[in-house]
A and B are shown apart, each in its own frame.
Chain A
Amino acid sequence: MEHAWDFSAVFTNSYLLLIGLKNTIILAVVCLVLGLFFGLFVGAARYSTRIVFNWPATAFVEVFRNTPVLVQIMWFFFAFPIISPFDIDAFTAATLGLTLNTIAFSSEIYRAGIQSIHRGQWEAAKALGMNYTNQMRRIILPQAIRRMIPAFMNRAVELVKMTSLASVIAYGELMYQAKTISTIEFNPIEMYTSVALIFFVLIFPLTLFVQRLEIKSKGRG
């Protein structure tokens, strides 16, 4: 079938798309920052041998790793408000879903990163007379985080893509804006093509950066 491509409606609605882009970025950044921050603690709890820390953290991680993000977001928007005493708007529901998911994944990255550091590093630090905090802060984490950066960046890429799921609960991110515009302007082909392009332009540099990091860290061994 022939289609006469016409992007003019995309440009006349570009400010709506910009709002969507802004909301996409806000959602991604908020979820990434919160997810990485709390992920450290859940990761530490997963690393701990004490059941009171380890067991709940493990349960949390497994629940969020083994259910679809879309289900999590829908649950926080449609189910959670019924049992919680406060109102939840689309942004909050999307943030809850994506952040908890990011916590679960990043905690695994932290845990694996710390575990990848050879026991001898802990021993050398301990033998110098360092306490646990200093062993972690001065010796283990600086090495571990270097190894974690590509994994975190990959996670950031995934997260930016997952923000589009928030469109199903009417959060005004890029995808939702595109859907709205295309139903008014009857231009789904141009609209969704543009959204795909915008996502690509947003994400591709991140992916390139991760690849370079991975090559570099392999080179260092």
Chain B
Amino acid sequence: MVEILKIEGLNKSFGDLTVLDGIDLSVNKGETIVVIGASGSGKSTMLRCVNFMEIPSGGRITLNGSAIGTASNGSVTYSEKELTGLRARVGMVFQHFNLFPHMTVKQNVMEGPKTVLKCSAVECSRRADKYLEKVGLGWKADSFPSQLSGGQQQRVAIARALAMEPEIMLFDEATSALDPELVGEVLLTMKELADEGMTMLIVTHELGFAYTVADRVLFLANGKILEQGDPESVLINPQQDATKNFLRGHGSFRLPEPNLD
């Protein structure tokens, strides 16, 4: 088994506020990890530390065997160049898509390979076609983001991240900003990626999705991993009171299995 991502003793504070408090995590190639937890528990911050959108206050991140940053007498320093290089290897999908509105769908997807990886025009175009096809939006290549539905925009954002051919993909509440009827198409795209063996770290409130797709579920509380394991043990048979309370809140209103025949 190849370890893609290793997080050791990750701390992050904003001023006096400690948001992450000693996170340890190892992610193997092809694993799908879902992070759940209450609002403010530090899920986004944890994800954002993995690609250094936030600089960790302490701890070490190792991607594919290479430790990021230079450690010297107890603290780790990071050069800007190293961080841009690392971000190119990690894909990120945001809650609000953040597509570039002045570019077409295809230009959005080509932008990373072109500007960051300096791929040839042919290669940029090939990648854009390939990944737009993968998310089922090849036919929208020449549209502008404003002409797409929220679900389509988010699938383009996924294609944009994939076009960098990243070693791991991060999803921060990728469906939270979507109308309920558009959530399914995005979750389906994410599930396909998981099935194809993409390594993924996913923050979501979609517990059904977590149950179906995750290899491992982490429950985060107060900046610590309070409980983790396979979906069955965390989501169905939680051990910690905090996890139980969280799940109780989420399961208050539940449909019986609908009869769809």
Which chain A residues have a beta carbon within 8 Å of chain B's beta carbons?
A: 118, 120-121, 123-131, 134, 138-139, 142-143, 146, 221
Contacts and interface: CB of A to CB of B under 8 A. Distances in A.
B199 interface: no
Contacts of A123: 53, 94, 98
Given A126-B53, A138-B115, A131 B84 contact: yes
A129 B112 contact: yes
B197 to A, nearest CB: 22
A130 B111 CA distance: 10
B188 interface: no
**Interface residue tally of chain B, by bracket?**
20 to 34
B111 A138 contact: yes
- Indicate the member of A123, A128, A129, A138 with the most B CB atoms within 10 Å: A128
A219 to B, nearest CB: 12
Interface of B: 51, 53, 80, 84-92, 94, 96, 98-102, 111-112, 115-116, 146, 157, 160-161, 164
A120 B94 contact: yes
B102 A126 contact: no
Contacts, number: 60
A81 to B, nearest CB: 47
A3 to B, nearest CB: 56
A10 B127 CA distance: 67
Contacts of A125: 100
Given A120-B96, A127-B161, 11 more contacts: A118-B98, A120-B94, A124-B99, A124-B157, A127-B53, A128-B115, A129-B86, A129-B164, A130-B115, A134-B115, A134-B116
Contact of B87 (A129, A142, A146, A221): A129
13 contacts: A118-B98, A121-B98, A123-B53, A123-B98, A124-B157, A126-B53, A126-B87, A128-B116, A131-B80, A134-B116, A138-B115, A142-B102, A221-B146
A120 B80 contact: no
Contacts of B86: 129
Nearest to A143: B102
A126 B161 CA distance: 12
A120 B92 CA distance: 12
Contact of B92 (A127, A130, A146): A127
A126 B91 CA distance: 11
Contacts of B161: 127-128
A183 to B, nearest CB: 54
A144 to B, nearest CB: 10
List the 9 shortest-distance A-B pairs measured between CB atoms, nearest first. A129-B88, A124-B98, A120-B98, A128-B112, A127-B92, A129-B87, A129-B116, A129-B84, A131-B84
Contacts of A127: 51, 53, 87, 90-92, 94, 161
A131 to B, nearest CB: 5
Given A120-B96, A138-B111, A128 B80 contact: no
Contacts of B102: 142-143, 146
Contacts of B146: 221
Contacts of A138: 111, 115
A120 B99 CA distance: 9
Contacts of B91: 127
A127 B116 CA distance: 11
A130 B84 contact: yes
Given A129-B164, A130-B116, A124 B101 contact: no
A128 B85 contact: no
A131 B81 CA distance: 8
Contacts of B101: 143
Given A123-B53, A124-B99, A139-B100, A129 B85 contact: yes
B205 to A, nearest CB: 20
Contacts of B85: 129
A143 B101 CA distance: 8
A131 B161 CA distance: 16
A6 B259 CA distance: 93
Nearest to B51: A127
B94 A128 contact: no
Given A142-B102, A143-B101, A128 B88 contact: yes
Nearest to A132: B80
A8 B51 CA distance: 76
